Structure 1
């Protein structure tokens, strides 16, 4: 019921262009709100950007972990809300999608486990590379922004902390402390560079008295006012997302989904908190420019929800957190404008997360292919992935490998029924 109601609310909010989940769709909402683009055109953009993530990443991850994720739950509600000419229709379609998610994932999971080639169980092989390689994303970000030496030192620090964690704190996810140290190193270096620039600027000539205001300031002001006008609705959305996270049936990222499936809610909270640091500047900027917020806000609601002990507290915390985020958006935009290195660090974190997960998901998908079909499984899954690369990536890169595992699993079952393939012994 929580999923169904939340999907209805998310689609209703998207229909009003008050919030969408996909960061790439949000900038297009400004033209829609101002009447320069049609509802159908905006929904088409949303579908084009989202379809690959829904079927290539969201559905396979939900099947392999048994935990829902935002790509499966919220990307379709973006499309359904934007395409609906009436609010009641958006809510009805969102609720219907929520029902499909709840009953469809469970039914598909039960069905696949009965097949001769159980590719869902095989996809659990993705957990190890995703969990352990994900911890390296701060190292990539440091190396890209501050050079090889800084990146190498950060990598050595993370490796040492990981080894210490395995030895001294075996019950703690070993990558959590390493990730924390890596992110602190990146933020510390960025702040050091920004404060150095500010000190140099303070000794130079002041701003001319007649200097013009930043041309984006007026646009950001209008966006902030529009967001505040939707504050009660956004608070309801925050309450619902936090409640879903508190139920521990939802994970905000690839790594956190596997951690929640293992019952490591503290580790999942850490992973999603560090992930949020890479997306806060992007979400803040696009929200202020378009006047539309994110369905999950700054995504800080994920770790908060994982750690809360009860549903009523989650409802209150989610609503208050979204209220605070919306009210502080203008300040966040101004603060980020004065910290260019911190803003760049956020972009480097996003890119590093994408690259790290691409490698981890690819390795995990090949391991799953081997588990379900041995050499033929690797041939089919690897071949589908390479075909996607050769044809211009019609399926986005990070989603191509899991989608190939599902397609490969279906094909191997067909080959089995044709007496052309013998499943790998379980």
Structure 2
């Protein structure tokens, strides 16, 4: 994790080639169109509201307002700062705005135009904003690169947190000791490898193994009880309204399978170009050139989102823009864009066709389903601490004690005001606001930037 190599990676990441620019613009146009059609949105919090919109029980403007309210903080507080500091695009910057623009557009033809316009703003405007920021006396973007180390290393602990929440302190403690030993071992024996890669692999496998063991034990106990009582398990009634809703939603999505295949191809191509990261840790790993480790990290995240995306898609009739997100790691590892497009299309075809079956399987594995909930919660908890700590490190790098006072104060003020900016995005947003304020103080001759 040498500083010079990191600096080059971050700076080079925002200078997009023509094929990269076209891919981003066309993909943003496509995602805005799909959002307008209410076929898919990226924001998991918006998806449950799509059912009423699809059935005409709420208006387009009301649904757009919900999407904007749930997405704006992530776009400006997390997506933009992460892209500027890492030099790698992310889904919050690309797909949350196209959710909003697609829903906002009153006409079908206008949605892709608005989406393409946003894509152009990103690919042509981001590099200019990056250059302007680096020329400021207080370079807060370079300071924000301090966030990479806490994000990468604290993210490693998310399996430990998930195991502790679901299976108790003993298993959590054992997982923590095991992960620490594996991190130390990796740093000693394989210094060129991301230190948390092996630890996360073992942690996620342990969590899944414990969940499957619990489910199998419960099913065995249930069968024993049934045999003892002479009764058979009752299946869901044929007129189950939820089963009917799930079936209708799955059929609706299957009707648009070709469009979803194009979407999968586009997302996978973007990931293959290595200008895009599916998560916070992934963005910094790609910026450092650790592509296989980035694929590994997003592969683990995939397990945490299967039940959420499957159940909300079946309940609402709207899928996820990135599907189950497995298309990210597949794209990172593809050798060229053509193979990435083919693989992405195939992955989305399989996902959409298998959606009903996945929902049924998850219904029979409650502990595995709960593990995914705990994984998502653990990822959020670990990243919240990492982003907050990294933001304070960035504040110290750009303004020492005054920087910490400003950034930490803005974060605490956001908490006291009831979090108008979502917690995950509040700290990076505070760094940008703090950086602007420190530059103003410099121009007023009230502040001297930290040297180095």
Question: Which range, TM-score by smaller chain?
Answer: over 0.9
Tell me the TM-score normalised to structure 1 length.
0.99
1:364 correspondence with 2:390: yes
The counterpart of 2:145, out of the listed 124, 127, 139, is: 124
Q: 1:129-177: per-residue Cα shift (whole Å, max 9, x none)? A: 0000000000000000000000000001101111111111111111011
From 239, 244, 255, the counterpart of 1:229? 255
Which of 306, 310, 318 matches 2:344? 318
Give the Å deviation of 1:200. Answer: 1.1
CA 208–353 in structure 1, closer or farther in 2 if over 3 Å, else same: closer
Match of 1:251 in 2: 277
How far did 1:207 drift? 2.8
State the distance in 1 between where 2:336 and 2:441 align.
Answer: 48
2:113 equivalent among 76, 92, 96: 92
Moved over 3 A (4+): 208-215
Q: 1:313 to 1:56 in 2, by over 3 A?
A: same
Q: How does 1:21-420 map to 2 (within 5 A)?
A: 21-203=42-224, 204=226, 205-208=231-234, 214-420=240-446
Between the aligned partners of 1:302 and 1:405, the Cα distance in structure 2 is 28
Which 10-residue stretch deviates more, 81-90 or 120-129? 81-90
In structure 1, runs of 5+ residues without a counterpart are none
Structure 1 residues 380 and 215: CA distance shift in structure 2, 3 A: same
| Aligned: 1:17 with 2:38 | yes
In 2 relative to 1, CA 219–173 (structure 1 residues): closer, same or farther, beyond 3 Å? Answer: same
C-alpha root-mean-square deviation of aligned residues, in Å?
1.0
The separation in 2 between residues aligned to 1:158 and 1:345, in whole angstroms, is 18
Between the aligned partners of 1:17 and 1:398, the Cα distance in structure 2 is 27
Q: How far, CA to CA, are the matches of 2:362 and 2:240 in structure 1?
A: 14
For the residues of structure 2 that align with 1:151 and 1:304, how far apart are their CA atoms?
Answer: 30
Gap regions ≥5 residues in structure 2 = 1-21
Q: Distance in 2 between matches of 1:276 and 1:238?
A: 15
CA distance in 2, matches of 1:343, 1:2: 35
**2 CA distance for matches of 1:221 and 1:299?**
22
SS of corresponding position for 2:191: coil
TM-score, scaled to structure 2: 0.93
Shift of 1:103: 1.3
Q: Distance in 2 between matches of 1:315 and 1:3?
A: 14
* CA-to-aligned-CA distance 1:185-216 (integer Å, 9 cap, x gap): 11001000000111111121313589565431
Partner Cα separation in structure 1 for residue 187 and residue 234 of structure 2 = 57
Deviations 1:246-284 (CA, angstroms, capped at 9, x unpaired): 000000000000000000000100001101111111000
**Whole-angstrom distance in 2 between the partners of 1:32 and 1:202:** 43
Aligned residue pairs, count = 426
Q: CA offsets per residue over residues 389-416 of structure 1, 9 Å max, x none?
A: 0000000001000000000000000000
Q: Against the structure 1 CA distance between its residues 154 and 417, is the aligned structure 2 distance closer, same or farther, given a 3 Å change threshold? A: same
Give, in angstroms, the shift of residue 290 of structure 1.
1.1
Give me the whole-angstrom Cα distance separating, in 2, the residues matched to 1:206 and 1:253: 45
The whole-number CA distance in structure 2 between the counterparts of 1:411 and 1:209 is 62
Distance 2:57 2:302 in 1: 32
